[in-house]
């Protein structure tokens, strides 16, 4: 069958119609979805009814699921992380622009999220293309960035605050472990061969060999530049919707505009490789 693909914006995102992810996917369909993921950075599906086991089954066609380091997964499904905001809570999990867990030596290849319970309005997620962000830079700045590496940490205060509620009720004991990793500022995608900016405001602390203060000016510019509106798309969740994104060339930002309502998503991240 031919995939029904509708692009969401000029640089990132597409919606795929006519696919039931709960059913076994033939190889041609898997290849088509993978091609769409590589082309658009994030693909969306509507009206999917997936148990945690079915979610893991479809994810296994694209990679190996990994556990999130800070929060326990669902009972019996340690690699399915519940992303929850309760009605009385003021901050949402991961509620700022980021690429998932870039403080790991091998950050995730991709993330697959399934909507379980949603507020009546709000809670959209924005996505940004790091290909477009890199390609829009001047040749001089590209040359400057080409030799730089950046330190990424799990412990920047703003992002730590967004996971505080879940650590309180379902957190893992990581002891005194400090999660940090150094990655190139410009990453070459291992499948497409394209270059993408690979710093983000949630986790990137400084350039390797420089202080936080020395790094701040250029990093702040890159954080603003890479999330320009023209590099983005906006996804309005609906019950059963799925977003499947490539962490190697995108960032995302879940909006926190639904005070007083509950929101529950099930997230699976797929193991990646060492960025180069």
Q: Is residue 252 flagged as an active site residue?
A: yes
Phi and psi torsions of 58, nearest 5°: -70, -35
Q: Which two tokens stand for residue 4?
A: 């029904």
Q: Is residue 161 flagged as an active site residue?
A: no
Per DSSP, the residues of 233-273 read EEE---TT-EEEEETTTEEEEE----TT--EEEEEEEE---
Tell me if 132 sits within 8 A of 11, measured CB to CB.
yes
Q: Is residue 158 flagged as an active site residue?
A: no
Give the pairing of strands 232-235 and 125-129.
antiparallel
Tell me if 143 sits within 8 A of 195, measured CB to CB.
no
Active-site hit among 163, 183, 266, 267: 267
Nearest-angstrom CA–CA distance, 50 and 57:
10
Active-site hit among 100, 183, 246, 248: 100
Active-site hit among 114, 163, 203, 252: 252
Q: Is residue 246 flagged as an active site residue?
A: no
Active-site hit among 34, 98, 187, 263: 98
Residues with catalytic annotation?
A: 98, 100, 252, 267
């Amino acid at each position: 069958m031919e995939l029904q693909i509708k692009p969401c914006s000029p640089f990132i995102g597409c919606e795929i119609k006519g696919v039931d992810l709960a059913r076994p996917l033939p190889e041609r369909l898997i290849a088509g979805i993978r091609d769409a993921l590589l082309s658009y950075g994030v693909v969306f599906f509507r009206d999917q009814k997936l148990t945690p086991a079915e979610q893991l089954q479809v994810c296994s066609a694209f990679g190996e699921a990994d556990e999130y380091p800070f929060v326990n997964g669902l009972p019996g499904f340690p690699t399915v992380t519940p992303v929850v905001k309760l009605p009385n809570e003021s901050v949402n999990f991961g509620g700022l622009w980021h690429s998932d867990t870039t403080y790991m030596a091998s950050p995730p290849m991709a993330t697959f999220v399934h909507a379980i319970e949603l507020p009546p309005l709000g809670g959209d997620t924005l996505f940004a293309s790091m290909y477009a962000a890199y390609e829009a830079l001047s040749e001089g700045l590209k040359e400057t960035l080409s030799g730089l590496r950046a330190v990424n940490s799990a412990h920047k205060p703003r992002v730590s605050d967004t996971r505080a509620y879940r650590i309180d009720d379902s957190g893992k004991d990581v002891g005194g472990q400090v999660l940090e990793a150094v990655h190139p500022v410009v990453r070459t995608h291992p499948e497409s061969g394209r270059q993408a900016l690979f710093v983000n405001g949630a986790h990137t602390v400084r350039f390797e060999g420089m202080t936080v203060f020395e790094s701040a000016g250029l990093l702040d510019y890159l954080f603003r530049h890479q999330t320009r509106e023209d590099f983005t798309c906006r996804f309005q969740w609906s019950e059963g919707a799925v977003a499947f994104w490539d962490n190697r060339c995108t960032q995302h930002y879940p909006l926190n505009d639904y005070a007083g309502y509950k929101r529950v998503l099930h997230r699976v991240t797929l193991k990646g490789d060492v960025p180069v």
